[in-house]
């Protein structure tokens, strides 16, 4: 009889942002599949959880993904976590979920919901989010400009992730296209230096340039609908 793959959302910064159900699940499984075991170990140590870790990330071999599916097929109950937030969003979690569903059946995968940087940023942005498009990280080079040309024409709010190394570049690209469009950038969400800042693309770019908004930390960028 097959086991269960629990897809467990974990904190995006503040380690207290985890549900009671998630903690109970992490304590009860036989193994935790983690994107970066060092990051996950900090969370487990904080909550006194002692369960073996199995690394699985974007550069893992297909054999490693198949091995996790085999574990579930053999009856193991396993938790899947990512470094921050909900597995399957801008990480390789979708592949292992699909493999387990195909091999062990639809009821073998159970999501344990929790924090998502996308929803957290939207909730504090003031941008209407009845409808929005999530693009994750934009391509660094090939296809980037074409995609941005399409983004500014979308009739819905657009949510993107960006690194501290490219946040200024993204603001410059938006200013070149829609300098007066409302933009919100959210950095260090749930952490000590959390900052959710908004204004026109040009205003936000200037605040980033003059240091009013720190360029450190991972960013969620929200481009409001026209």
Mean pLDDT within 71-81: 98
Based on the fold, state whether residues 25 and 53 are members of the same structural domain.
yes
Output the pLDDT for position 201: 98
Q: Provide mean pLDDT across the span 185-213.
A: 96
Q: Do 122 and 108 share a structural domain?
A: no
Rounded CA separation 143/164 (Å): 20
Last residue of a domain, one of 70, 87, 112: 112
CA within 13 Å, CB half, 88:
18
Residue 123: domain span = 117-223
Report the pLDDT averaged over residues 69-79. 97
Model confidence at 1, pLDDT cuts 50, 70, 90, reads confident
183-216 burial by CB neighbour count: b if 16+ within 10 A, else e? bbbbbbbbeeeeebbbebbbbbbebbeeeebeee
Shared domain check, 149 and 108: no
Asked if 40 and 91 sit in the same domain, the reply is yes
pLDDT at 89: 86
Which CATH number fits the domain that encloses residue 82? Answer: 3.40.1010.10
Q: What is the pLDDT of residue 146?
A: 97
Strands (E), 104-167: 109-112, 132-137, 157-162
**How far, in Å, CA of 110 to CA of 128, rounded?**
30
Picking from 35, 41, 99, the residue whose alpha carbon sits closest to that of residue 67 is: 99
Report the distance separating Cα 147 and Cα 39, nearest Å.
32
What is the distance between the alpha carbons of residues 87 and 97, in angstroms, rounded to a whole number? 9
Cα three-residue angle 54-217-147, rounded to 5 degrees: 90
Domain end marker among 82, 112, 142: 112
Predicted confidence at residue 171, as pLDDT, reads 97
| CA-based R_g, the chain, Å | 19
**pLDDT (tens digit per residue) in 17-73:** 999 999 999 999 999 999 999 999 999 999 999 999 999 998 999 999 999 999 999
* 163 and 88 in a common domain: no
Residues 126 and 214 in one domain: yes
Global pTM reads 0.91
Query: Given 74, 89, 112, which residue is the final one in a domain?
Result: 112
Domain count, the chain: 2
Cβ atoms < 10 Å from Cβ of 150: 11
CB-based contacts of 67: which residues, under 8 Å, 6+ apart? Answer: none
């Amino acid at each position: 009889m097959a086991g269960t793959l629990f897809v467990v959302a974990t904190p995006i910064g503040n380690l207290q942002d985890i549900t009671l159900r998630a903690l109970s699940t992490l304590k009860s499984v036989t193994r935790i599949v983690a994107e970066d075991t060092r990051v996950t170990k900090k969370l487990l140590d904080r909550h006194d959880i002692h369960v073996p870790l199995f690394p699985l990330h974007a550069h893992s071999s297909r054999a490693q993904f198949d091995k996790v599916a085999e574990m579930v097929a053999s009856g193991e109950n396993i938790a899947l976590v990512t470094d921050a937030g909900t597995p399957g969003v801008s990480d390789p979690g979708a592949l292992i979920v699909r493999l387990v569903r195909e091999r062990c059946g639809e009821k073998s995968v159970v999501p344990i919901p929790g924090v998502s940087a996308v929803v957290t940023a939207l909730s504090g942005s003031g941008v209407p989010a009845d409808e929005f498009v999530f693009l994750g990280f934009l391509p660094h080079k090939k296809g980037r400009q074409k995609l941005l040309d399409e983004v500014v024409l979308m009739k819905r709010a657009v949510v993107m992730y960006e690194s501290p190394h490219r946040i200024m570049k993204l603001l410059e690209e938006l200013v070149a296209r829609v300098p007066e469009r409302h933009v919100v950038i959210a950095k260090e969400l749930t952490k000590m230096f959390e900052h959710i800042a908004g204004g026109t693309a040009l205003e936000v770019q200037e605040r980033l340039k003059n240091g009013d908004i720190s360029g450190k930390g991972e960013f969620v960028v929200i481009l409001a609908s026209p």
